[in-house]
A and B are shown apart, each in its own frame.
Chain A
Amino acid sequence: MMQLLDHAWVAIIAPVLAAGAIAVVGHRAKSFAPVLALVGALTTLAVAMAGVTALFQADPHGVGPIADGGWEWFKVGGTALRLLWALDGLAAWMLLVVGVVAAAVVVFSTGYLAGDGGWVRYFALVSLFTGSMNLLVLADSLTALFIGWELVGACSFLLIGHWFERPSAARAAMKAFLTTRVGDIGLLVAIAALWSACGSDSFAEVFDKLPSLPSPTVNVVALGLAIGAMGKSAQFPLHAWLPDAMEGPTPVSALIHAATMVASGVYLGVRVWPVFEVSAPARDLLLVTGVVSALGAALIATLQRDIKKVLAYSTISQLGFMFAALGAKAPVAAFFHLVTHAAFKGLLFLTSGSVIHGSGTQDLHEMRGLRRDMPLTFGAWVVGALALSGIPPLAGFFSKDAVLDSVWNHAPLAGGVLFVASALTALYMARATRLAFFGVSGADTHVHESGPSMLLPLAALGSAALVAGLAGGPVARAIGHDSEPLVPAVALIALGMAAVSSVAGWSMAPDPQADLAHQRSLGRFGVALANAFWWDRLVERSIVAPAVGVSRVLWAWGDRLAVDGLVHGIARLTESAASALRSLHRGDAQVYATTMAAAVALMLAATVWLGR
Chain B
Amino acid sequence: MNAVFVACALFAIGLYGVLVRRDLIAILASVEVMIGAPLLLLVALGARLDGGAAVESIGLLLLVLAAAEAAVGLALLVLVARVVRTTRADELVEVGER
Residues of B within 8 A of A587 (CB): 93-97
Residues of B within 8 A of A590 (CB): 18-20, 22, 89-90
- For the complex, give the distance between the alpha carbons of A597 and B97 in Å: 23
- Expressed in whole angstroms, the minimum distance between the Cβ of A601 and any Cβ of chain B is 10
Residues of A within 8 A of B79 (CB): none
Interface size on B, residues (CB 8 A): 13
Residues of A within 8 A of B40 (CB): none
B71 at the interface (CB under 8 A from A): no
B96 touches A586 (CB 8 A): yes
- Expressed in whole angstroms, the minimum distance between the Cβ of B14 and any Cβ of chain A is 11
A588 touches B93 (CB 8 A): yes
- For the complex, give the distance between the alpha carbons of A590 and B31 in Å: 13
B residues 48-98 near A (Cβ < 8 Å) are 89-90, 92-97
Residues of B within 8 A of A597 (CB): 15, 19
A593 at the interface (CB under 8 A from B): yes
- Expressed in whole angstroms, the minimum distance between the Cβ of B70 and any Cβ of chain A is 18
- For the complex, give the distance between the alpha carbons of A586 and B90 in Å: 10
- For the complex, give the distance between the alpha carbons of A582 and B89 in Å: 19
A residues 579-600 near B (Cβ < 8 Å) are 582, 585-590, 593-594, 597
Residues of B within 8 A of A586 (CB): 93, 96-97
B97 touches A589 (CB 8 A): no
Q: Is the interface of A mostly helix, strand, loop or mixed?
A: helix
B19 touches A589 (CB 8 A): no
Residues of B within 8 A of A582 (CB): 97
- For the complex, give the distance between the alpha carbons of A353 and B55 in Å: 109
Residues of A within 8 A of B22 (CB): 590
- For the complex, give the distance between the alpha carbons of A593 and B34 in Å: 14
Residues of A within 8 A of B18 (CB): 590, 593
Residues of A within 8 A of B90 (CB): 588, 590
Closest to B24 in A: A589
Residues of B within 8 A of A594 (CB): 19
- Expressed in whole angstroms, the minimum distance between the Cβ of A442 and any Cβ of chain B is 78
- Expressed in whole angstroms, the minimum distance between the Cβ of A264 and any Cβ of chain B is 65
Residues of B within 8 A of A588 (CB): 89-90, 93, 96
- For the complex, give the distance between the alpha carbons of A286 and B76 in Å: 96
Closest to B93 in A: A587
- Expressed in whole angstroms, the minimum distance between the Cβ of A579 and any Cβ of chain B is 11
- Expressed in whole angstroms, the minimum distance between the Cβ of B41 and any Cβ of chain A is 17
- Expressed in whole angstroms, the minimum distance between the Cβ of A303 and any Cβ of chain B is 75
- Expressed in whole angstroms, the minimum distance between the Cβ of B87 and any Cβ of chain A is 13
Closest to A593 in B: B19
A residues 537-591 near B (Cβ < 8 Å) are 582, 585-590
- For the complex, give the distance between the alpha carbons of A586 and B15 in Å: 21
Residues of A within 8 A of B15 (CB): 597
- For the complex, give the distance between the alpha carbons of A593 and B92 in Å: 14
Closest to B91 in A: A588
- For the complex, give the distance between the alpha carbons of A590 and B89 in Å: 8
- Expressed in whole angstroms, the minimum distance between the Cβ of B38 and any Cβ of chain A is 16
- Expressed in whole angstroms, the minimum distance between the Cβ of A223 and any Cβ of chain B is 69
- For the complex, give the distance between the alpha carbons of A361 and B95 in Å: 72
- For the complex, give the distance between the alpha carbons of A589 and B89 in Å: 7
Please list the residues of chain A having a beta carbon within 8 angstroms of any beta carbon in chain B: 582, 585-590, 593-594, 597
Q: List 25 A-B contacts (CB under 8 A).
A: A582-B97, A585-B96, A586-B93, A586-B96, A586-B97, A587-B93, A587-B94, A587-B95, A587-B96, A587-B97, A588-B90, A588-B93, A588-B96, A589-B89, A589-B92, A590-B18, A590-B19, A590-B20, A590-B22, A590-B89, A590-B90, A593-B19, A594-B19, A597-B15, A597-B19
Closest 3 CB pairs of A and B: A587-B96, A587-B93, A586-B96
